[in-house]
Chains A and B, each alone.
Chain A
Amino acid sequence: MKVTLFITCLVDQLCPNVGVSVVEVLRRAGCEVVFDERQTCCGQPAFNTGYRNEAQKFAKRFIEIFEESEAEAIVSPSSSCTAMVKHFHELFPDDENWRERAEKIAGKTHEFSGFLINSLKIETVGASFKGRVTWHDACHGLRELNLRDEPRSLLKNVKNAEFVEMPNADVCCGFGGTFSVKFPEISAAILDNKIEAIENSNVSAVVSGDASCLMQIGGRLSRLGSKVKPMHIAEILASQD
Chain B
Amino acid sequence: MKMAHLTSETFDQNARGTLQNVQLRGALRKLAATFGERRRTVLATSEDWESWREQARQIKDETLVHLDSYLEQFAENAENAGAQIHWARDGKEACAIVLNLINEQSASKVVKSKSMATEEIHLNTALEAAGINPIETDLGEWIIQLAGETPSHIVVPAIHKTKNQIADLFVEKVGIELTEDVDVLTRTARKILRSKFAEAEIGISGVNFGVAETGTILILENEGNVRLTTSLPKTHIAVMGIEKVIPKFADLDVFLKLLPRSGTGQRLTTYQSLITGTKRNSGDEGPEEVHIILMDNGRSKMLAHPVTRQSLACIRCGACLNACPVYQTVGGHAYGSVYPGPIGAVITPQLIGFGKAKQLPYASSLCGACREVCPVKIDIPELLLHLRAEITEGTANGTERRKSAKRNFGERLAFSFYSFAWSSPTLYKLGTKMARLIQRPLLKNGRIGKVSGFLARLAPPLGAWTAWRDAPAIAPQSFREKWRDELKAKGKS
Contact = CB atoms under 8 A, between A and B. Distances in A.
A139 B470 contact: no
Contacts of A52: 389, 392-393, 396
Contact of B475 (A15, A61, A183, A191): A15
Nearest to B475: A16
A209 to B, nearest CB: 15
B397 A93 contact: yes
A35 B19 contact: no
A133 interface: no
B329 interface: yes
Contacts of B282: none
A19 B482 contact: yes
A182 B293 CA distance: 40
Interface stretch (B74-82, B162-170, B359-367): B359-367
Interface stretch (A106-114, A118-126, A151-159, A218-226): A218-226
B378 interface: no
B487 interface: yes
Contacts of A216: 469
B419 interface: yes
A185 B472 contact: no
B161 to A, nearest CB: 21
A165 interface: no
Interface size class of B (residues with CB under 8 A): 35 or more
A172 B469 CA distance: 16
Given A143-B368, A190-B325, A11 B479 contact: yes
A99 to B, nearest CB: 12
Interface in A45-83: 45-55, 57-58, 61
Interface in A163-188: 171-172, 174-188
A177 B366 contact: yes
Interface in B324-378: 325-326, 329-330, 361-369, 371-372
| Interface secondary structure of B, over-half rule | helix
A191 B468 CA distance: 10
B385 interface: yes
Interface string B377-420: 00000000101111111001110000000000001100110110
A58 B428 contact: no
Contacts of A50: 361, 385, 387-393, 396
Contacts of B482: 16, 19-20
B362 A174 contact: no
Contacts of A49: 362, 388, 392, 411, 415
Nearest to A35: B483
B471 A53 contact: no
A182 B472 contact: no
B16 interface: yes
A94 interface: yes
A11 B447 CA distance: 16
A199 to B, nearest CB: 16
Contacts of B435: 13
Interface in B450-493: 460-461, 464-465, 467-475, 477-484, 487-488, 490-491
B479 A219 contact: no
Nearest to B432: A13
Given A32-B491, A189-B329, A57 B475 contact: no
Contacts of A162: none
Interface residues of A, number: 72
A195 B477 CA distance: 29
A218 B446 CA distance: 13
Contacts of A220: 468-470
B464 A184 contact: yes
Contact of B15 (A35, A175, A186): A186
Contact of B369 (A7, A16, A33, A171): A171
B475 A14 contact: yes
Contacts of B175: none
Given A143-B371, A174-B325, A57 B423 contact: yes
A176 B471 CA distance: 16
A143 B372 contact: yes
Contact of A179 (B364, B419, B467): B364
B369 to A, nearest CB: 7
Nearest to A211: B472
B422 interface: yes
B120 interface: no
A103 interface: no
Contacts of B467: 184, 188
A149 interface: no
A16 B392 contact: no
B172 interface: no
Contacts of B369: 139, 143, 171-172
B285 interface: no
Interface string A6-30: 0101011111100110010001000
5 contacts: A16-B482, A49-B388, A143-B367, A172-B325, A181-B460
Which 7 A-B residue pairs are closest in the complex by CB-CB distance?
A: A176-B365, A219-B469, A50-B388, A172-B367, A54-B419, A143-B368, A50-B392
Given A20-B482, A142-B368, A215-B471, 9 more contacts: A7-B480, A12-B479, A14-B475, A41-B428, A50-B390, A53-B393, A58-B423, A171-B369, A186-B19
